[in-house]
Structure 1
Amino acid sequence: MELAGLLRVERGVTSVIGSGGKTSLIAALARELPGTVALATTTRVRPFAGVTTLDGGDAGAVAATLERERVVCVGSPGGEKNRAAGKLAAGALGPAELAELADYVLVEADGSRGLPLKAHAPWEPVVPAGSSQTILVVGASGFGRPVREAAHRLERFCELAGCAPGDVATPELVARVIAAEGLATRVLVNQADTDELLARARELARRLDVPVVAGSLRAGRLVELRA
């Protein structure tokens, strides 16, 4: 089954949160989905290679680009901090407005500083109103590493998981965080490139009550672990 089918991505707005491959997931979905696709953020995101970026100030320009190129990224360079980091902030058109121009809108709704695991601060994620689902990405490369090395928002992660920073990150601890937050309608465990990591993804799936897909976006191998 294709990625979009595994993740049940429908027309309208889909939000992507978590860590360990959000941008890769959005890029892969943009390549696969039929029709037009607008890529956006409610926080910050790196530009997508090979995709035209517009600030969204002109809806007509967005529509014309989608007609010509099928996929467009809408984001603003924002302030000096964003420009220095090479990232885009939210564009002038919000996800709901983009949904009137594109068949699909994929929104990166939080950040993770490149770490494979994450807990969310009270002010995040910034999931836009009207989002049909929220896909939480988990980086399997974080399993087996000390929590302090693998998790963004370390203090919050430890609080929700009931662990110490030096504890090893296990599927059980990650499941505790996901369950306590209750943010995800679906989970994608990415970076499960080996049989051992896929087995840990299966253990995580057994401890959750939401649908779970796992595998490797890089290798293009994904399986549904929990429907």
Structure 2
Amino acid sequence: MELAKALCVGRGVTSVIGSGGKTSLIAALARELPGTVALTTTTHVRPFAGMTTLDGSDAGAVAATLERERVVCVGAPAGEKDRAAGKLVAGALEPAELAQLADYVLVEADGSRGLPLKAHAPWEPVVPGVSSQTILVVGASGLGRPVREAAHRAERFCELAACAPGDAATPELVARVIAAEGLATRVLVNQADTDELLARARELARWLDVPVTAGSLRAGRLVELRP
């Protein structure tokens, strides 16, 4: 799967927001990209398995790790509540500074509490100004489920989509939220593991005016729905 090519991930800083597979996407890109890669967050993130984690207080240490291992996660220990969940917060080095050390910087720029859909509060996502693009991940498993069950910040979702919490999160309603927020330069519909879910992803793409790719990161299968 040529994931980086499908999502047009170039050198510099790329931010990933939304729900339904942000961490999986970042990890897959880190494995695939040809140069050095720094993974970081502007909010909270769990450490990436098998990757060295540094707090970013020493740029030299980050550079040395990249020479030796090619990929490094930069994040500081979280506060007491999130530390118990094993999470990290933004490290000492800003994404712009990391971009001077690594060929690619991938930023997880918001959280979703493990739900497949999300609407963003006014203070999120925290996308660095140096980002060349912002990829919004949507979990196809949430399409068709009640908003109150499938969406993080369901009340905000309903406000933007003009719907009720018990309404099904149809592709049209999800598209309303995405369009109203205007945060994404590109959408990845993940978790489209069946023909039915891929058909719902296609319907979602028809309602959007940004590039859309869909498929399953787990299965390593993607298709371009809207160039």
User: What is the Cα deviation at residue 129 of structure 1?
Assistant: 1.3
Residues 60-209 of structure 1 aligned to structure 2 (within 5 Å): 60-209=60-209
One-letter code aligned to 1:209: D
Matched residue, 1:222: 222
Matched residue, 1:23: 23
Matched residue, 1:2: 2
Aligned with 1:93: secondary structure?
coil
Structure 2, unmatched stretches of 5+, are: none
Provide the aligned length of Structure 1 versus Structure 2: 227
Task: Give a deviation string over 1:143-177, Cα, whole Å, max 9, x none.
Answer: 12111000001110000011100001110000000
Distance in 1 between residues matched to 2:146 and 2:182, nearest whole Å? 24
One-letter code aligned to 1:116: P
User: What is the Cα deviation at residue 67 of structure 1?
Assistant: 0.2
User: What is the Cα deviation at residue 81 of structure 1?
Assistant: 1.6
One-letter code aligned to 2:77: P
One-letter code aligned to 1:127: V
Distance in 1 between residues matched to 2:21 and 2:175, nearest whole Å? 18
User: What is the Cα deviation at residue 21 of structure 1?
Assistant: 0.2
User: What is the Cα deviation at residue 78 of structure 1?
Assistant: 2.5
Residue 41 (structure 1) aligned with residue 37 (structure 2): no
Distance in 2 between residues matched to 1:218 and 1:200, nearest whole Å? 18
One-letter code aligned to 2:51: V
Aligned with 2:166: secondary structure?
coil
Aligned with 2:26: secondary structure?
helix
Distance in 2 between residues matched to 1:129 and 1:182, nearest whole Å? 15
Distance in 1 between residues matched to 2:79 and 2:119, nearest whole Å? 26
Distance in 1 between residues matched to 2:92 and 2:82, nearest whole Å? 16
Structure 1, unmatched stretches of 5+, are: none
Distance in 2 between residues matched to 1:190 and 1:71, nearest whole Å? 24
Bigger shift: 107-116 or 80-89? 80-89
Distance in 2 between residues matched to 1:65 and 1:81, nearest whole Å? 29
Question: TM-score, structure 2 length as denominator?
Answer: 0.99
Identity of aligned residues (%): 90
One-letter code aligned to 1:129: G
One-letter code aligned to 1:88: L
Aligned with 2:23: secondary structure?
helix
Distance in 1 between residues matched to 2:86 and 2:174, nearest whole Å? 30
Task: Give a deviation string over 1:17-58, Cα, whole Å, max 9, x none.
Answer: 000000000000000001100000000001000000000000
Distance in 1 between residues matched to 2:159 and 2:109, nearest whole Å? 22
User: What is the Cα deviation at residue 192 of structure 1?
Assistant: 0.2
Distance in 1 between residues matched to 2:113 and 2:164, nearest whole Å? 21
Aligned with 1:14: secondary structure?
strand
> 4+ runs of 1 displaced by more than 4 Å?
none
How large is the Cα RMSD of the aligned pairs? 0.6
Question: TM-score, structure 1 length as denominator?
Answer: 0.99
User: What is the Cα deviation at residue 139 of structure 1?
Assistant: 0.1
One-letter code aligned to 1:168: A
Distance in 1 between residues matched to 2:143 and 2:161, nearest whole Å? 14
